């Protein structure tokens, strides 16, 4: 039995009320004590009942006690059932909302007992109640807290759970509940809203849209979030509403809502605000928040914070897991792709370090160099021992490039096979670990390509030889013809023969160039060196060419004398080639400038034209065999071997050759030769 029952027991003896009874119940100021007749009509009413229910003794006398119940309870015939139970069982509990004269609800707790007179006759009932609203509120708070905690820990979708919390707050502990969270920009955004009357949710939203809260107001949600300090308003006086209202319409709406009490609590994590929860009681429940309520609200806020942080952490960890999965998947795919390449036997793959140790290699590589896997595993294959001497220098350079850039551009080299023969390959390397120098090399066997190239070179060699022999005969016959025609004095025939000679000479020089190419390829280009003044060579060549060129003037601007030890005929070939190119590739210009300068122990020869110029990307490729600038190749005929031969001749004289050029402006070709000081 609940605590206060004992006071009433005194009167539950089968005795009717008497003077002593009235005196006693008058002293119980916190209790409602009333008696009724058998039908429930009130016969006595103590002063406790007067204060709590608001009816005076006179007002209540003769009224049925069901007046004290809520309309719902009356509808359910609770008062009648209570009397019946009391009569049958000797006692009936009463624990529910009751209604005061002024329409205020309060939570009452007590019992109703039957009354008997001295003869044992049933005469009526006595009822004792106590206002337990405060206790009820605490119970409510606790039950709300328990439910809210359960909801908050039930899901990781914290926006949904906050909405559920707001929903159960109403009508448990508030008539209106909102949750605001700071968005990414740090602005409070409402994420949940519940109202005792669902229809009013929409209305509340419109109100908020029409009159958005002032973010700089000294009180209210933004301030609670800013300061991380809760606000409690046990009562909301009209002045507060007047202050908060933006205009008379706003004030009217606020008054209509009937604000009674409010509390706003911050949601905090690590001293940082995340948002706020506000609980509002309106005149509908007539509730007034106390510091107890505030503690409960703060507890809810702290659990909400936990839920938000948990969810955020979870989301972050999920994201991380997903990212990791993605990376793993990518890695797996790359590995699979690489493995496929590794196993495909199309290209050799080597894992090595910068000292030349080969850790692993695929079958394609082993086949290329003719070793077995066992030999590899025994450490018998080392980059350095399978590299012929002549490739050590380029390998060294490529290793430098690899260390510097992380990759080395592909280069051609050869490896010594197990049987001692050499295999030509193209290699590209990628650094795997710059600290240990571990790298991966891709090796493409180019034996087939080299063989083809060789055949082509052989063909060029044979073809030019075959052409050269009849051409020499033609040349011989034309010389004889020349003499005969001279004797005959036929001018027309002489002119035609001279033309024939020009073409024969051009053909001769082309075939000569081709022969030179095959000689260079075979390493058989011979030099017949002699001592001479380079100035004389330049002068002779210019004079010769000037005679045939009607369009250009060849100017020797600063041509010094310089003694050279070299193959005069071959160097003439180089200079002639540069001059004829300068004329050929500057059809709209009228001059070519030649320069010879001495620099320390070399001479620097330059040939400048004002012609079509050479694109930057082509400039260092011009000296390769058969290379021609594609853009110009249709406009100008040629084989693309003149500069290749020139470069070889200059290199064989320990000189250098290069070009400086600007498209549409012209080019200057330079070459250097060592000066012979002994002479």
For ligand ADP, give the closer residue by CB, 12 or 577.
Answer: 577
Strands (E), 38-142: 42-45, 92-99, 105-116, 122-131
**Residue 382 DSSP SS3:** strand
Q: Minimal distance in Å, beta carbon 462 to ligand ADP?
A: 21
In angstroms, how far is CA 265 from the centroid of its own chain?
38
Segment 494 to 523, residues that bind ligand ADP, using CB under 6 A: none
Nearest residue to ligand ADP, scored by beta-carbon proximity = 638
For ligand ADP, give the closer residue by CB, 148 or 582.
Answer: 582
- Binding flag, residue 585, ligand ADP (CB under 6 A): yes
Q: Which of 99, 128, 641, 657 binds ligand ADP (CB under 6 A)?
A: 641
- Binding flag, residue 667, ligand ADP (CB under 6 A): yes
Q: Which of 300, 643, 649, 673 binds ligand ADP (CB under 6 A)?
A: 643
Token representation of residue 577: 């080639």
Q: Which of 197, 258, 632, 658 binds ligand ADP (CB under 6 A)?
A: 632
Q: Which of 497, 609, 653, 671 binds ligand ADP (CB under 6 A)?
A: 609
Q: Minimal distance in Å, beta carbon 390 to ligand ADP?
A: 26
Residue span binding ligand ADP (CB under 6 A) among the ranges 35-43, 126-134, 476-484, 632-640: 632-640
**Residue 248 DSSP SS3:** helix
Torsion angle, CA of 152/298/293/237, rounded to 10 degrees? -120
Segment 134 to 173, residues that bind ligand ADP, using CB under 6 A: none
Give the number of other Cβ atoms within 10 Å of residue 548's Cβ: 9
Q: Minimal distance in Å, beta carbon 648 to ligand ADP?
A: 11
Specify the residue for token string 């590794």.
Answer: 342
Q: Minimal distance in Å, beta carbon 639 to ligand ADP?
A: 5
Q: How many residues bind ligand ADP (CB under 6 A)?
A: 20
Give the number of other Cβ atoms within 10 Å of residue 612's Cβ: 23
For ligand ADP, give the closer residue by CB, 223 or 595.
Answer: 595
| Greatest C-alpha distance within the chain | 183
- Binding flag, residue 428, ligand ADP (CB under 6 A): no
Segment 520 to 539, residues that bind ligand ADP, using CB under 6 A: none
Residue span binding ligand ADP (CB under 6 A) among the ranges 338-346, 467-475, 531-539, 576-584: 576-584
Q: Minimal distance in Å, beta carbon 507 to ligand ADP?
A: 14
- Binding flag, residue 606, ligand ADP (CB under 6 A): no
> Are 381 and 351 within 8 A, CB to CB?
no
What is the rounded radius of gyration, in angstroms, for the C-alpha atoms of the chain? 55
For 576-581, the CB contacts below 8 A with 24+ separation are 576/541, 576/545, 577/642, 577/643, 577/645, 577/646, 578/607, 578/646, 578/669, 578/671, 579/541, 579/542, 579/545, 579/554, 579/607, 580/545, 580/642, 581/609, 581/642, 581/643, 581/669
- Binding flag, residue 612, ligand ADP (CB under 6 A): yes
| Residues sharing a CB contact under 8 Å with residue 264, sequence separation 6 or more, in sequence order | 220, 221, 224, 230, 231, 276, 277, 278, 279
Q: Minimal distance in Å, beta carbon 625 to ligand ADP?
A: 9
- Binding flag, residue 552, ligand ADP (CB under 6 A): no
In terms of Cα–Cα distance, which of 62, 64, 69, 126 is closest to 95? 69
Residue span binding ligand ADP (CB under 6 A) among the ranges 209-217, 237-245, 267-275, 634-642: 634-642
- Binding flag, residue 651, ligand ADP (CB under 6 A): no
Q: Which of 180, 413, 570, 628 binds ligand ADP (CB under 6 A)?
A: 628
- Binding flag, residue 611, ligand ADP (CB under 6 A): yes
| CA 20 – CA 35 distance, rounded (Å) | 15
Q: Minimal distance in Å, beta carbon 362 to ligand ADP?
A: 40
> Are 391 and 399 within 8 A, CB to CB?
no
Q: Minimal distance in Å, beta carbon 439 to ligand ADP?
A: 36
Residue span binding ligand ADP (CB under 6 A) among the ranges 89-97, 175-183, 303-311, 638-646: 638-646
Segment 317 to 336, residues that bind ligand ADP, using CB under 6 A: none
Q: Which residues pair with 671 in a beta bridge?
A: 605, 657
Q: What is the DSSP secondary-structure string of 580-615?
A: HHHHHT-TT--EEEEEEEEETTEEEEEEE--SS---
Token representation of residue 147: 């439910």
Give the number of other Cβ atoms within 10 Å of residue 507's Cβ: 15
For ligand ADP, give the closer residue by CB, 428 or 640.
Answer: 640
> Are 644 and 625 within 8 A, CB to CB?
yes
Residue span binding ligand ADP (CB under 6 A) among the ranges 293-301, 388-396, 546-554, 642-650: 642-650
Give the number of other Cβ atoms within 10 Å of residue 213's Cβ: 15
In terms of Cα–Cα distance, which of 12, 48, 229 is closest to 130? 48
Q: Which burial class, exposed, middle or buried, applies to 80 when counting CB atoms under 10 A from its CB (0-12, 13-18, 19+)?
A: middle
Residue span binding ligand ADP (CB under 6 A) among the ranges 90-98, 108-116, 187-195, 624-632: 624-632
- Binding flag, residue 581, ligand ADP (CB under 6 A): yes
Task: Give the total residue count for the chain.
Answer: 679
- Binding flag, residue 582, ligand ADP (CB under 6 A): yes
Cis peptide preceding 600, ω within 30 of 0 = no
- Binding flag, residue 638, ligand ADP (CB under 6 A): yes
Q: Minimal distance in Å, beta carbon 568 to ligand ADP?
A: 20
- Binding flag, residue 640, ligand ADP (CB under 6 A): yes
For ligand ADP, give the closer residue by CB, 568 or 625.
Answer: 625
The DSSP symbol for 69 reads B
Q: At what angle do helices 642-652 and 568-584 cross, to 10 degrees?
A: 140
Residues that bind ligand ADP (CB under 6 A): 577, 581-582, 585, 609, 611-612, 614, 622, 628-629, 632, 638-644, 667
């Amino acid at each position: 039995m609940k605590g206060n029952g004992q006071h009433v027991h005194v009167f539950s003896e089968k005795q009717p009320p008497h003077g002593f009874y009235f005196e006693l119940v008058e002293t119980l100021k916190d209790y409602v004590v009333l008696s009724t007749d058998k039908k429930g009509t009130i016969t006595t009413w103590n002063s406790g009942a007067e204060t709590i229910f608001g009816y005076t003794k006179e007002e209540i006398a003769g009224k049925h006690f069901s007046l004290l119940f809520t309309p719902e309870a009356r509808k359910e015939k609770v008062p009648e059932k209570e009397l019946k139970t009391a009569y049958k069982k000797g006692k009936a509990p009463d624990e529910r909302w009751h209604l005061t004269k002024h329409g205020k609800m309060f939570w009452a707790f007590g019992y109703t007992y039957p009354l008997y007179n001295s003869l044992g006759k049933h005469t009526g009932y006595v009822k004792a109640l106590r206002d337990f609203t405060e206790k009820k509120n605490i119970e409510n708070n606790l039950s709300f807290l328990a439910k809210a905690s359960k909801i908050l820990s039930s899901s990781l979708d914290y926006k949904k759970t906050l909405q559920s919390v707001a929903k159960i707050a109403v009508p448990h502990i508030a008539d209106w509940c909102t949750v605001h969270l700071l968005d990414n920009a740090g602005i409070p955004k409402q994420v949940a809203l519940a109202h005792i009357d669902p229809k009013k949710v929409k209305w509340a939203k419109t109100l908020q849209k029409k009159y958005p809260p002032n973010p700089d107001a000294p009180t209210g949600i933004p301030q609670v979030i800013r300061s991380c300090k809760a606000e409690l308003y046990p009562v909301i006086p009209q002045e507060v509403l007047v202050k908060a209202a933006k205009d008379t319409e706003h004030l009217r709406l606020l008054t209509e809502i009937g604000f009674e009490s409010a509390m706003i609590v911050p949601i905090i994590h690590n001293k940082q605000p995340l948002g706020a929860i506000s609980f509002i009681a309106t005149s509908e429940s007539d509730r007034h928040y106390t510091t107890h309520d505030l503690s409960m609200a703060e507890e809810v806020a702290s659990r909400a914070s936990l839920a938000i942080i948990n969810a955020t952490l979870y989301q972050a960890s999920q994201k991380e897991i997903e990212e990791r999965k993605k990376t793993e998947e990518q890695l797996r795919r790359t590995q699979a792709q690489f493995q496929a390449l590794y196993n495909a036997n199309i290209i050799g793959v080597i894992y090595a370090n910068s000292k030349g140790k080969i850790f692993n290699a695929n079958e394609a590589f082993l086949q290329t160099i003719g070793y077995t896997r066992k030999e590899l595993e025994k450490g018998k294959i080392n980059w350095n021992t399978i590299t012929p001497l002549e490739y050590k220098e380029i390998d060294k350079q490529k290793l430098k490039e690899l260390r510097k850039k992380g990759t080395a551009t592909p280069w051609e080299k050869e490896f010594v096979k197990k049987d001692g023969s050499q295999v030509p390959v193209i290699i590209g390397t990628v650094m795997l670990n710059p600290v240990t120098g571990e790298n991966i090399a891709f090796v493409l066997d180019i034996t087939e390509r080299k063989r083809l190239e060789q055949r082509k070179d052989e063909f060029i060699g044979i073809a030019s030889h075959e052409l050269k022999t009849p051409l020499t005969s033609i040349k011989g016959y034309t010389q004889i013809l020349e003499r005969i025609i001279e004797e005959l004095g036929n001018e027309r025939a002489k002119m035609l023969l001279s033309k024939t000679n020009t073409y024969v000479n051009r053909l001769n020089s082309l075939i000569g160039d081709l022969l030179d190419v095959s000689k260079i390829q075979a390493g058989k280009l011979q030099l017949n060196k002699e001592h001479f003044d380079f100035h004389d060579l330049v002068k002779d060549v210019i004079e010769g060419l000037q005679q045939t060129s009607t369009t250009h003037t060849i100017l020797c601007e600063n041509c010094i004398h310089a003694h050279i030890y070299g193959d005069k005929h071959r160097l003439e070939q180089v200079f002639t080639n540069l001059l004829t190119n300068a004329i050929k590739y500057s059809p709209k210009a009228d001059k070519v400038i030649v320069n010879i300068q001495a620099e320390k122990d070399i001479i620097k020869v330059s040939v400048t034209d004002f012609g079509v110029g050479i694109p930057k990307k082509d400039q260092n490729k011009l000296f390769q065999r058969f290379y021609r600038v594609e853009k110009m190749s249709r406009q100008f005929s040629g084989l693309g071997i003149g500069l290749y031969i020139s470069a070889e001749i200059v290199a064989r004289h320990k000189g250098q050759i290069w070009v400086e050029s600007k498209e549409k402006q012209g080019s200057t070709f330079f070459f250097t030769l060592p000066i012979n000081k002994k002479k």
